[in-house]
Amino acid sequence: MSLLRYLGLDSGTSKTLKTPTTREAETMRRIAAKLDMLPKDQANHIAAFAYILGRIAHADSVFSEAETSKMQEIVQDLGHLQEAQAMLVVEIAKNQVRLFGGTENFLVTRRFKEMTSQQQRTELLDCIFAVSASDKSISVLEEGQAGQIAKELGLSHDDFVNARLTYREHFETLKQLRSSH
């Protein structure tokens, strides 16, 4: 059972996907049970939202403690979840990104676009930058991934620039330019 099932993306037919370990499968079952208690629309929204946050956090192939903590905070607040539920949602999202990231990123982001308003997609973009800036550093990889997600969400370049400006002091490229002068 996976977050992808909630999005209607888990066809079970892909032969390129790694099978989860027993421990990962147990984690997925626990989170799926928590999501099953929510209305289907809310579960779908939270599943996609958390996955996309996981996507940005894993852009540099590492989930830092700061990124994980920020993801949990955002999912709890915006998903109106209890702390334990938010922690489980984030852990399963992280596992899903690790297992399926390369093949499912676009599909999940496209599904999120289909089920949300322009304002919700813009808010997600701000959350993406908040997660990537949570460790006080936004790498070139994270910035590139944020740009890719913004495009997939159908957001304008102006939307991307406006969200990016809020976190400009955390961009590694700008920090390097400042330190070289």
Domain architecture of the chain: domains with CATH: 3-9+21-179 (1.10.3680.10)
Mean predicted lDDT score pLDDT of the chain: 83
Residues 6+ apart with CB under 8 A from 120: none
Whole-model pTM?
Answer: 0.80
- Classified as helix, coil or strand, 143 is helix
Q: Is the Cβ–Cβ distance between 9 and 107 less than 8 Å?
A: yes
Residue 6, pLDDT above cutoff 90: no
Tokens of 177: 């330019």
Q: How confident is the model at residue 43 (pLDDT cuts 50, 70, 90)?
A: confident
Q: Which residues pair with 171 in a beta bridge?
A: 138
Instruction: For 109-165, write each residue's pLDDT tens digit.
Output: 999 999 999 999 999 999 999 999 999 999 999 999 999 999 999 999 999 999 999
Residue 107, pLDDT above cutoff 50: yes
Q: Is the Cβ–Cβ distance between 82 and 46 less than 8 Å?
A: no
Q: Tell me the C-alpha distance between 27 and 2, whole Å.
A: 10
Q: What pLDDT is stored for residue 45 in this prediction?
A: 87
- Which of the pair, 164 or 23, is modelled with greater confidence? 164
Q: Alpha-carbon dihedral of residues 148, 174, 126, 152, nearest 10 degrees? A: -10
Q: How confident is the model at residue 35 (pLDDT cuts 50, 70, 90)?
A: confident
- Which of the pair, 104 or 139, is modelled with greater confidence? 139
Tell me the CB-side half-sphere exposure of residue 10, using CA atoms within 13 A.
Answer: 14
Tell me the backbone φ, ψ of residue 138, rounded to 5 degrees: -110, 110
Tokens of 54: 């996981």
Q: How confident is the model at residue 104 (pLDDT cuts 50, 70, 90)?
A: confident
Q: What pLDDT is stored for residue 102 in this prediction?
A: 80
- Which of the pair, 180 or 149, is modelled with greater confidence? 149
